[in-house]
Amino acid sequence: MVGENAERYPDLVARICTEKHVIGNHTYHHLKGYKTHTQTYLQDTHQANEILHTPLFRPPHGRMKYSQKKALLQAGQRIYLWDVLTHDYNPCYSVEKMLSVVKRYTRNGSIIVMHDSLKSKDRILQLLPLVIEWLHSQGYKCETLP
């Protein structure tokens, strides 16, 4: 979760936690680590964790500097990336095309990334049940991150 969104929607965060979903830190302002000074990035990540209280971290855009990674790991964060990108943020990708990406690239242990943005909301609401159904039909089991 992006910290500023979590702060803006505390009831939603509470509901997500009540429903036993696991949340991760995605910085406070969705900073691009590779374009941000390390200390600024770490402060932004800490600001998000003041709200989220999670050891899980996923860097925005899947990239950050080595110094940022090293400091986050030393602070006890567990960094996760993804291996299947649905491109849900791209209006040129239809639900069918996103589903085909999932089907083509998903393997055991895959992490499939979808975004909670308004620009992708309608497609994600259509896509997610299809992805879950396909995963189950293929024998995959959805699990939370450790």
Q: Do 10 and 63 share a domain, yes or no?
A: yes
User: Which of 53, 79, 105 finishes a domain?
Assistant: 79
Please indicate, yes or no, if residue 72 is contained in any of the structural domains. yes
Q: What is the pLDDT of residue 77?
A: 97
Identify the band that residue 144 occupies on the pLDDT scale cut at 50, 70 and 90: confident
Identify the band that residue 5 occupies on the pLDDT scale cut at 50, 70 and 90: very high
User: Which of 79, 95, 117 finishes a domain?
Assistant: 79
E-assigned strand segments in the chain: 56-57, 78-79, 84-85, 112-113
Q: What is the pLDDT of residue 138?
A: 97
Q: Do 8 and 72 share a domain, yes or no?
A: yes
Q: Do 55 and 92 share a domain, yes or no?
A: no
Please indicate, yes or no, if residue 11 is contained in any of the structural domains. yes
Selection from 114, 103, 31 nearest residue 68 by Cα: 31
Q: Is the pLDDT of residue 145 over 90?
A: no
* pLDDT tens-digit series, residues 48-101: 999 999 999 999 999 999 999 999 999 999 999 999 999 999 999 999 999 999
Q: Do 67 and 111 share a domain, yes or no?
A: no
| Other CB atoms within 10 A of residue 84 CB | 17
Q: Provide the 3-class DSSP secondary structure of residue 145.
A: coil
**What is the percentage of the chain residues whose pLDDT exceeds 90?**
92
Q: Do 124 and 94 share a domain, yes or no?
A: yes
For residue 59, the domain's CATH number is: 3.20.20.370
**What is the percentage of the chain residues whose pLDDT exceeds 70?**
100
Least confident of 14-18, 39-43, 129-133, 142-146: 142-146
Number of domains in the chain: 2
Identify the band that residue 7 occupies on the pLDDT scale cut at 50, 70 and 90: very high
Q: Do 12 and 65 share a domain, yes or no?
A: yes
Q: Is the pLDDT of residue 117 over 90?
A: no
Residues in the chain: 146
Please indicate, yes or no, if residue 142 is contained in any of the structural domains. no
Please indicate, yes or no, if residue 146 is contained in any of the structural domains. no
Q: Do 67 and 110 share a domain, yes or no?
A: no
Please indicate, yes or no, if residue 143 is contained in any of the structural domains. no
Q: What is the mean pLDDT of residues 126-132?
A: 97
- What is the span of the domain harbouring residue 59? 3-79
Q: What is the pLDDT of residue 72?
A: 98
